[in-house]
C-alpha cells in the first residue's frame, strides 16, 4: 500500500532475537527511521522493547514461517537473526530467503561454523554473516599492534586508521592548539574528536589540547606510527599476552596473535575447555586454573606481561582484574564489557582500552542498513561509533558525481559538528584541507556528531 508509506526511505527490517544485540539494534535502527519489527518467543522481552522504542513486536518462534509472515517477511528489506543459537539464526535466514527477496544477516558464533562462513553465506544466499567474537578479536588485536592506542579502527580498505589515545601528563601536546600542531609537528594527521570531562567536541583550529584529553586521530597507517613517535608516546612491541577466560573471543584473539608471532597464555577454569583450547591452539600455553586468583596470576608472571586481557563472561570480574593488573604491572590492558548500562562508571575507572562487543556487531549491521538506504553513487563502506556512540565516523565510496564533488571543501556548506577527515584518492590517502576537492572514485571519511547520514550529500546543510 503506497498510500501508507510515510517515509519512503525507511527500510522494513525484521530483527529476530530480543537479546542485548537485538535490543540495541532495534533502538538504533528505529531512531534512524526504519520500520522495525522485533520477533522473540519471550513476550516480556518483546513488551519491554516495544514500550521503549517505536517498533512493532511479534511473539513467536522466529524460525517458523507462520511467525515470520506475521512479522511481514514478504515485504521486508532486511532480516537480522541475532538469537542465542547459531542454528536458529541460520534456519531463520534460510526460511526468510525462501519466502521473500529480503537480505538476510545472521549472527554466527560457533567456531565450527565460522571457518565455513563464506561457504555458508554463498550457499544459503545470505548477505552477511557476523561473528561478533571474531570481530571483537580483530579489533583487540589491532590495539595490541599499536599498544599506546586505546582503540584502533581501520577504514578505506585498511589504508587508514582511526586511533584513539589519551594525552599523558606533561606531553608536548599539552596546551597546544590544533593549528600549532599542524605547524610544529605534522600536517599529515587530523584530530577529529576530543573527549574532555565526559564531553565530546569536534575541535576547530583554535582548540587547545590538554593532558588527560582523549583524542581521536585520523591518518594513514604509516603516518600514525610516525605521529605517535614524534609526540613521544610510542612504546615497545607487545611480545607476550595473558588472557583470562578461554571463551570464543579468547580463542579467536589468540589465533590472530599467535599468527603474528606473539606468545599467548590463556588461563581457563574448565578442564575440558582447556583441553579443547590446547587442541585448537597448539602454540598457546593453556593454564587450567582460576584466573581471578591473584596468586596464580603472580605465578604466571602477570608483572612481566606486555598485555593483560580479561575476557571472562562477567563484566565485574573483567573490571576488577584490569584494575588489579594496573596496580601491579605495566601491561597494556584491554577490558571487555558486555553490558552498556554503566558506561559512565566504566569510563571513570581508567580500565585501559574498553570494548563493547555489542557495539561492534551493531556498527556492522548499521553500516549495512545505511548502505542499503543510500542513494546510488555513494556507498557506505564502514560506520563506526566513536566515544560511546556520541560521534560517528562514516566512510563513503563516492562512485558518482554529486553536489559535493569537484568543489573545494572550503566552499561547501557543511553541517555543524561535521568534519571531512580523510580523502582516499587514486590509492593515496590525504588529510584534506580547504582547497582539496572530492572527486568521483574517492573514498571519503567523515566524522560527525549528527546521526543517520546515509549519503555523502547528507553532510551539507
The site for another protein (CB under 8 A) is made up of: 1, 3-6, 10, 12, 27, 30-31, 35-37, 43, 50-56
1 or 345: CB nearest another protein: 1
- 35 bridge partner residues: 12
Q: How far is the C-alpha of 28 from the C-alpha of 205, rounded, in Å?
A: 32
In order of 68, 260, 295, the CA distances from 95 in angstroms are 9, 40, 52
Residue 376's CB is within 10 A of a number of other CB atoms, namely 8
57 or 432: CB nearest another protein: 57
Q: How far is the C-alpha of 449 from the C-alpha of 441, rounded, in Å?
A: 25
Cβ of residue 31: shortest distance to another protein, in angstroms? 8
Cβ of residue 44: shortest distance to another protein, in angstroms? 9
Q: How far is the C-alpha of 255 from the C-alpha of 350, rounded, in Å?
A: 27
Residue 371's CB is within 10 A of a number of other CB atoms, namely 17
DSSP 101: -
75 or 275: CB nearest another protein: 75
Cβ of residue 71: shortest distance to another protein, in angstroms? 10
Q: List the grid coordinates of 307.
A: 598485555
Q: How far is the C-alpha of 203 from the C-alpha of 166, rounded, in Å?
A: 15
- 220 bridge partner residues: 160
27 or 168: CB nearest another protein: 27
Cβ of residue 394: shortest distance to another protein, in angstroms? 22
Q: Are 394 and 445 in contact (CB under 8 A)?
A: yes
6 or 206: CB nearest another protein: 6
Cβ of residue 5: shortest distance to another protein, in angstroms? 8
Q: How far is the C-alpha of 318 from the C-alpha of 208, rounded, in Å?
A: 35
In order of 81, 158, 372, 417, the CA distances from 381 in angstroms are 22, 11, 11, 21
439 or 451: CB nearest another protein: 451
Instruction: Kindly state the helix (H) or strand (E) to which residue 421 belongs, with its residue range.
Output: strand 418-425
Q: List the grid coordinates of 456.
A: 555523502
Cβ of residue 366: shortest distance to another protein, in angstroms? 17
Cβ of residue 51: shortest distance to another protein, in angstroms? 6
Report the SS3 class of residue 46.
Answer: helix
Q: How far is the C-alpha of 155 from the C-alpha of 443, rounded, in Å?
A: 9
Cβ of residue 53: shortest distance to another protein, in angstroms? 4
Tally helices (H) and strands (E) across the chain.
Answer: 15, 22
212 or 452: CB nearest another protein: 452
Q: In the chain, what's the furthest Cα-to-Cα distance?
A: 70
53 or 342: CB nearest another protein: 53
43 or 198: CB nearest another protein: 43
Cβ of residue 72: shortest distance to another protein, in angstroms? 8
Amino acid at each position: 500500500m503506497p498510500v501508507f508509506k510515510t517515509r519512503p526511505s525507511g527500510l522494513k527490517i525484521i530483527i529476530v532475537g530480543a537479546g542485548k544485540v537485538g535490543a540495541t539494534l532495534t533502538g538504533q535502527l528505529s531512531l534512524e527511521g526504519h520500520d522495525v519489527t522485533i520477533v522473540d518467543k519471550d513476550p516480556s522481552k518483546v513488551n519491554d522493547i516495544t514500550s521503549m522504542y517505536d517498533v512493532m513486536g511479534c511473539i513467536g518462534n522466529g524460525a517458523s514461517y507462520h511467525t515470520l509472515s506475521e512479522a511481514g517477511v514478504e515485504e521486508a528489506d532486511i532480516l537480522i537473526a541475532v538469537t542465542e543459537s547459531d542454528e536458529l539464526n541460520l534456519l531463520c535466514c534460510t526460511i526468510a530467503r525462501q519466502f521473500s527477496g529480503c537480505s538476510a544477516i545472521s549472527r554466527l558464533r560457533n567456531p565450527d561454523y565460522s571457518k565455513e562462513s563464506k561457504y555458508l553465506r554463498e550457499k544459503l544466499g545470505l548477505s552477511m554473516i557476523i561473528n561478533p567474537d571474531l570481530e571483537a578479536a580483530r579489533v583487540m588485536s589491532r590495539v595490541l599492534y599499536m599498544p599506546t592506542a586505546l582503540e584502533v579502527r581501520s577504514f578505506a580498505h585498511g589504508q587508514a586508521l582511526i586511533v584513539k589515545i589519551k594525552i599523558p601528563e606533561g606531553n608536548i601536546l599539552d596546551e597546544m592548539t590544533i593549528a600549532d600542531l599542524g605547524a610544529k609537528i605534522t600536517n599529515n594527521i587530523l584530530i577529529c574528536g576530543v573527549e574532555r570531562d565526559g564531553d565530546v567536541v569536534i575541535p576547530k583550529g583554535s582548540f587547545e589540547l590538554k593532558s588527560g584529553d582523549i583524542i581521536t586521530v585520523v591518518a594513514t597507517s604509516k603516518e600514525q606510527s610516525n605521529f605517535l613517535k614524534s609526540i613521544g608516546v610510542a612504546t615497545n612491541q607487545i611480545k607476550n599476552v595473558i588472557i583470562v577466560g578461554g571463551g570464543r573471543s579468547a580463542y579467536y584473539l589468540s589465533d590472530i596473535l599467535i599468527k603474528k608471532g606473539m606468545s599467548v597464555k590463556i588461563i581457563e577454569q574448565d578442564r575440558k575447555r582447556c583441553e579443547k583450547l590446547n587442541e585448537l591452539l597448539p602454540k598457546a600455553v593453556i593454564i587450567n586454573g582460576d584466573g581471578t586468583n591473584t596468586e596464580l596470576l603472580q605465578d604466571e608472571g602477570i608483572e612481566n606481561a606486555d598485555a593483560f586481557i580479561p575476557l571472562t563472561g562477567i563484566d565485574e570480574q573483567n573490571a576488577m582484574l584490569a584494575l588489579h593488573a594496573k596496580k601491579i604491572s605495566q601491561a597494556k590492558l584491554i577490558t571487555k564489557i558486555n553490558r552498556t548500562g554503566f558506561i559512565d562508571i566504566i569510563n571513570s575507572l581508567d580500565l585501559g582500552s574498553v570494548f563493547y562487543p555489542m557495539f561492534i556487531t551493531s556498527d556492522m549491521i548499521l553500516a549495512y542498513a545505511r548502505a542499503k538506504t543510500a542513494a546510488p553513487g555513494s556507498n557506505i563502506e564502514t560506520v563506526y561509533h566513536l566515544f560511546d556512540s556520541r560521534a560517528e565516523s562514516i566512510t563513503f565510496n563516492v562512485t558518482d558525481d554529486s553536489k559535493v564533488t569537484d568543489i573545494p571543501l572550503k566552499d561547501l556548506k557543511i553541517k555543524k559538528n561535521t568534519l571531512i577527515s580523510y580523502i582516499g584518492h587514486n590509492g593515496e590517502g590525504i588529510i584534506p584541507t580547504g582547497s582539496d576537492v572530492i572527486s568521483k572514485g574517492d573514498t571519503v571519511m567523515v566524522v560527525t556528531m549528527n546521526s543517520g547520514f546515509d549519503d555523502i550529500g547528507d553532510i551539507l546543510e
